Structure 1
Amino acid sequence: MTVSTGKPAVFSDIEGTLISISFPRTYFEQSRALGIIPPINQVIVAVLNGIGSLFSHKSKIGGILRYLAIMNAMRNVPMSYNDQVMERVNPLLHASLKPKSIARIREYEAQGMPVILVSAALQQGVESFAKTFGWRGEGTIPILKGDLFTGKAEKPLSGEEKAVRVRAVAQELGIDLSRSVGFGDTVTDVPFLSLLSTAYVVDPDDELRAIATSKGWTIIES
């Protein structure tokens, strides 16, 4: 249930909204550099990325292929390596921050609004990145077998699932969604953005631009 009283907050997607590079791909590349990616994973990811290159990364099909690549990239990799990987990943993500997006979010943060990052990337990585700002991170929950990532997750944090998580976090923290702000960059972000009082879309494709215009959302061109 949407929280009707309480403090406002900022909810933001990461890839394409806050950063200009791929979070999962960067994580995969740094994991590979550390020598922890099984060779078969590298082959599968290369195939999926090859197919995915035929579609816009903002399209639904592109999103599905990207999600499959994320899941296969880290299959059978111990999650205990996450901190070591993120030590290499976080500086790269910070170097790719979109100035206009981060500046606008910082403006709201300066008003006392907490910031929650919501992303389809795996929870452990999202949480680590968010902590570098002093923010909260919400990502896709991986299914583990012992310490090993199985290549499966509870549900990808995308589309309606992202809206469900935003509602849950709002209820947990006493956040008033009717006074809150959201940032996204694809049509899959529309469900969670629609819950909020104010929404920004970053570098939208034509479909999202049309939706944003019809809803009166602010468009940020980076």
Structure 2
Amino acid sequence: MGEPVDPSGAGGGNPGTGPRAAFFDVDGTLTAEPTIFRFLEYLLAAQGHPPSAYERERRRLQTMTTAGLPRSRALHMYFRNYAGLAADLVAEVGEAWFASELRGADLFNPTGLGAFRRHAAAGDLLVLVSGSFSACLDPLSRHLAADETICTQPEIRAGTYTGRITVSMVGQSKAAAVARLATERGISVAQSWGYGDHISDLPLLETVGHPVIVGDDREMVALAGRRGWTRLPPLPPTLGGLPTSP
């Protein structure tokens, strides 16, 4: 259950089945912490807000999710922080944020990143499927050389964030997006892999032939046991340091 995934044996495309892809959730799967929160902290600081502003907003959102607010609704609440901000400015700050993250060594989850690299070496189509958004994911996707990025779409009018979202890439939306991409690209979902760390990733994992649970979330560990799915446990902390190149 905890052995490293070796995708090389399944090949990057079998006759009659189409090419194979590896679909990765990002927050908690490829990254150690949610990108949307790490970015919001950076953005608020760049705007001159004290650290308490971020801490207050994070507590507010965590309180709502702990009380049972679905992740999809929490995402709507999160993007209210961007109302009135110029999209170009947010994208620019996103580039600076990611550069600052790479100067550290704790952005990526070594377990998920290791699996990503194995699929890259096998020649699979690499797809990020995330509830995060382009300001965070564009530089990350380029850094990892991902082939496709599917993510939440905040509403932008006249170059400005409205604070609303048009597409929430959480839960069942991930499965639907994967199915659409598979149809468009001729991908065999039966031959493809999916990686996730949270129960909201379940629809994504159920879409592919090779679901993999990353981490030690209690609900997901139990699910892996019931269904016989592969699980990749966290690597020891001593193995957590990562180079800045993928």
Taking the aligned partners of 1:120 and 1:171, their CA distance within structure 2 comes to: 21
Whether 1:112 aligns to 2:112 is no
Q: Of 85, 88, 98, which aligns to 1:80? A: 88
Cα distance in structure 1, aligned partners of 2:25 and 2:88: 25
Residue 70 (structure 1) aligned to one of 36, 53, 78 = 78
Contact 2:71 2:170 in 1 (8 A): no
Task: State TM-score, norm by structure 1.
Answer: 0.84
List alignment gaps of at least 5 residues for structure 2: 1-15, 235-246
Cα distance, 1:130–1:107 mapped onto 2, change above 3 Å = same
1:113 alignment partner AA: D
Q: Is the 8 A contact 1:159 1:192 kept in 2?
A: yes
| Per-residue Cα deviation, 1:81-125 (whole angstroms, up to 9, x for no partner) | 233212222245553211121112211111110111111112343
Q: Unaligned regions of 5+ residues in structure 1, if any?
A: none
Q: Are 2:189 and 1:177 aligned? A: yes
Query: Which residue of structure 1 lines up, in the alignment, with residue 113 of structure 2?
Result: 102
Residue aligning to 1:129: 140
Q: Is the 8 A contact 2:212 2:229 kept in 1?
A: yes
Larger Rg computed on CA atoms: 2
Give the aligned partner of residue 49 of structure 1. 58
CA distance in structure 1 between the aligned counterparts of 2:68 and 2:202, rounded to whole angstroms: 13
Aligned-pair identity (%) = 22
TM-score by length of 2: 0.77
Q: Shift of the alpha carbon at 1:171?
A: 1.6
Alignment partners' CA distance in 2, 1:185 and 1:91: 25
